Amino acid sequence: MQGLNPFQRGQGADSRPAPARPAPARPAPVQQRTTRRDPAPSRLAYRLNRLMLRPLVRRLVHVGLPAFLAALVAGIWLSDDTRRANLTGGIDAVVDHVQHRDEFMVKMMTIEGASPVVDKGLRAMLPVELPASSFDLDLEKLRERVLKLDAVEAVDLRIKPGGVLSAVVTERVPVVLWRHARGIELLDKTGHRVASVTSRDVRGDLPIIAGEGADRAAPEALALIDAAGPILPRLRGLERMGERRWDVVLDRGQRIKLPEDKALQALERVIALDRAQHMLDRDISVVDLRQEARPVVQLGLEAQNAIRQARGQPELGPDGKPLEAGATAGKATNTTKKSG
């Protein structure tokens, strides 16, 4: 056993200790080499970055895509009939509550410048009964309906503080009567209808015009009436002939036929002749001025018969036909008896 122990060999008096052997050093750990990351982007990232530089793509990603998603979610949520009905009912309830607040309520209506008939008609045109919300009153549509009244020329509608609906009405002023086949109507200075009357006696202070199309030429008729100052007491009215010219109708069956153009100047010439020569005081039935270069005067029946008697010709009857000799003699006898 002793020979097997190397550390006990030669452990006598003269023996030396065995030299110490240095322990082998551990090998240093091998450091793994790390590969550097390539800073260049990948091909896909490069293409995506280049694509995002386009304004259209940026708007699509930042605005379009969120809007699409929001619309998709809202559509899915609103696809249910119950949820949709609840949402509509809630919105209507909120709107109705706001619109019927006290500060938005119209409680009364005031009308200025209207006659009793127009006042009653305007109040009847209100789409709702007062008090009502101002949101239920469409003033523009109400104004259009009021202007359809013939007697109304203009109207100003507005809602004043305190819940007052104010209406300032400007009515048309009738200046002339128009007689036609359907009756008698009042017209204003522009020829617009104001109202209907049953007879001329209702407005006997107004002049009268007659004939089809006379309403469209009412301004010209008013100018002729203004120019007929000296003969105005004898004026019976104006008659529109063929919707293109006027006849001035006077008392005693006299008629002045005016031309289609320059009618005012022709009437002024007739008035000047009447002032100078008292032409209209004579037995003249028609003064025809339709041809400016050739005026024509038609004598009355008595003047014509006086001329025919002086010529020894038979007299004319009311129909313009010559009377028989016996009828003429009888007429002369009656005239002699009346004078006797």
| Domains contained in the chain, CATH given | 102-171 (3.10.20.310), 211-301 (3.40.50.11690)
What's residue 41's pLDDT?
76
How much is the pLDDT for 72? 92
pLDDT score, position 338? 42
For residue 131, cis peptide bond before it (omega within 30 degrees of 0): yes
pTM beyond cutoff 0.75: no
| Predicted pLDDT of residue 53 | 86
User: For 317, what's the count of Cα atoms within 13 Å in the CB-facing half-sphere?
Assistant: 9
Supply the pLDDT for residue 5: 54
> What integer pLDDT is reported at residue 220 of this predicted model?
94
Query: What pLDDT score does 9 carry?
Result: 52
For 118, counting Cβ atoms within 10 Å of its Cβ (0-12 exposed, 13-18 middle, 19+ buried), the class is buried
* Ranges in the chain, pLDDT < 50: 1, 329, 332-333, 335-340
Could you tell me the maximum CA-CA distance found in the chain, to the nearest angstrom?
Answer: 216
Contact by Cβ (8 Å): 274, 280: yes
